[in-house]
Amino acid sequence: MRKIGRVCIWIIVLTAILSLSACGRQERQRGIDGYVYEAELVTDIEDWACNFKVSGGWLYYTGYGDVLYRIPVGEDGVIQGRKAEKVPGGEEIQDYTLDAEGNIYCYKAPVHWLESGYAQLQGGTLARYREDGSLDFQISLDGWSGAYASLRSVPGFLAVGSPDQVFLLSGDTVLAIDGTGKIISQINISANRPEDGSFGTEKLLEGGDGKVYYLAEHTGQQTIYELVWTGDSFRPQAVSGEGWEGKESRAGNFFGSPDGILYSGLDGILQRYNSGKGKWQEVLNWSDSNLWQDTQEVAWFSEDRILVYFISQTEGKVGNEFYLLHRRRIEELPEKEELVLVCQGFCSDSLEDGVVGFNRTSEQYHITIQVYEGEDAFTRLDTSLVSNDPPDLLDLSGLDVAKYGGKQALEDLSPYLEGSSLLRREDFLEGILEGYTVDGRLVGIPSSFVCHTLLGDASEVGNRAGWKMEDMFRLTEEYPGRKLNGRSFYRNLDMICGDYIMNHFIDREKGECDFDSEEFCSLIVWLAEHSGSGTDYYDYEEVENPLIVWDDVSGILDFIMDISRSGKELTVIGYPSIDGAPLHHAWTYNAAGIPSKSRNKEGAWQFIEYFLSQRTWAASGYMPARRDVLEEMLEDAVTPVYRMVDGEIWLDGEGNPEKAAKWVAGRRGEGMVKYDCATREEADALLDMIAHTDFSPEGGLKSEVISIIMEETAGYFSGDKSVEEATKIIQNRVSVMVQENW
């Protein structure tokens, strides 16, 4: 079950301050251990190059057609700029690797596409070539095969170890092959593969000291195994190591290197595994190098030189960017004032783009992103906000904004907005600013949002938006046996009933609540009967003919596809409200706030101002919080696109301009559909939805109350408590909380 709210024990936080150094603020510095990797854009590499490795003064990579190329590099890691040459024997390869002597191993196997969509590699050969291109040995792989969810550009089928060994991944087996081409060990890895028996995330990695590792994903987590010789064969042995505690490996990337495995995670830090010390050591923070954390590949030249590659998108065009990182002492870099932006769990692509752009253009400031991960992330945040060295900026995504705003831990942005030369208050949707106003103080301004709402069949719910909870009760009475939807009780409690519970069972003026009443017991029983059977917050089951549908609207195309041109008579009825007025909710993104104790509020505001004045985040797929940008997008949406022939608009048989499709889109499992431009009525209907949307972020008393109800009703669903017993406990717990907030 999802944790909706977290109670901040401010007494503990304040006590923690006493343990902080009383010697004053420490000067902030970029980098790790006194060094920063400065990024230089490389233009000598073909845009389609990938799978880089360095050996013997050459930079090797796989190019178009799965052909192996190499280009000379100097001792300083600088590419010499001559045209790349093909490597003999490196045509149509699935993977390659190099050993310390410069020998080149090439794996070739035909691809058979299965009905499941997986790629099967069956048979093929493994060959070793000397650096001059002469063949050393070649072995047949007949009888060996594996099916893979995808064939990645950096596949990881091969890795060299010592002494004079190469390892090949084939399905649920890793083959260890000696310098003569003899298979000396077959390592069974079937116990570590996904439960459905497929492959795709697995790969071999080369580490320091000739060690070879196997990467597997199991139950959503990535795990590294060292292939260890034990007696007469190799065995996989799980690796963790000091410095790995609290890491979230689910979405990070691992890379091989001759000096140890590399890992780049959601915290924006590149780490290297020191097998001798059994610990992970930080190498660099990507934001220190004015780069992004989602690097596609890392080619380790040396401690002082690293080649990295990113997928870039500029003006809608996707391409690749390559950077050579040079290790520099901090004193060698231009001096800037250092600001820290703290994010919980991860930093969004849009916000990270903003930081990179700001750092590259600002002559005065540099922002370093710090991501707090793990179970203690919120405790770390609370402690940092009241410490003698607080962050300068705070990503409010996923935070209890009402709590931090109510404690005045966040700066009021209204004076900054009023004095801005780049932004005006009227530039933003008023609902956005209202949602982020706590006790009269504007604590954040998001860049974008998604509306989420409820849809119903017009013949059943009527054709007017808005209803009360009592109307939903009557709907289930009129159509007995049908469920509201297939979502779990817990999620429906939070999303559908949250506002009703706060307004109907809590009297904030008197500081009282009424959760041990028969009415609340009936609500619990009713909602359980009309929700899906899932026991976790995000559980979902397909139910026959649900009464309402939950829909996310991230733009005009979603509105067209899901509602106005869905082929059904749907009403955007919204969530139940206390007075029956239309009510929709929103998820907001990239709201940056300034901690009240920030040591450089002016620099922090300069970043917020810069970020919100850019248009790059408008391509994120969400709706912009900027009113002017939203109006421009809708104006474009209603503007027709015409068929062009030889640079001129094509006329139909009656001499009228012939329209072309504005969008071609479809949902998963459905075919692609062509959509004409939006009508003015559709654009106005979307604007009306936005006008009746509550933009308040999650958090505050509501989240805490819903969390308590979720916790205590779990005993009712498990059969350990009656509904009356559960609601009495809820009454006691919420009463204390309401009195404290009264």
pLDDT reported for residue 163: 82
pLDDT tens, residue by residue, 713-737: 999 999 999 999 999 999 999 999 8
Dihedral sign for Cα 464, 466, 471, 476, please. Answer: positive
pLDDT reported for residue 587: 94
For residue 375, the 8-state DSSP code is T
pTM of the model as a whole: 0.84
Query: How far is it, in rounded angstroms, from Cα 355 to Cα 340?
Result: 11
pLDDT reported for residue 684: 97
Query: How far is it, in rounded angstroms, from Cα 84 to Cα 72?
Result: 8
pLDDT reported for residue 50: 92
pLDDT reported for residue 81: 67
Cβ proximity of 287 and 369 under 8 Å: yes
Which letter, b or e, does each residue of 345-383 get, where b requires 16 or more Cβ atoms within 10 Å of its Cβ? ebbbbbbbbbbbbbbeebeebbbbbbbbbeeebbbebbb
Query: How far is it, in rounded angstroms, from Cα 512 to Cα 505?
Result: 9
pLDDT reported for residue 216: 86
Query: How far is it, in rounded angstroms, from Cα 150 to Cα 200?
Result: 6
Residues of the chain under the 70 pLDDT cut: 1-28, 81-82, 192-201, 218-220, 246, 248, 313-317, 616-620, 669, 741-742
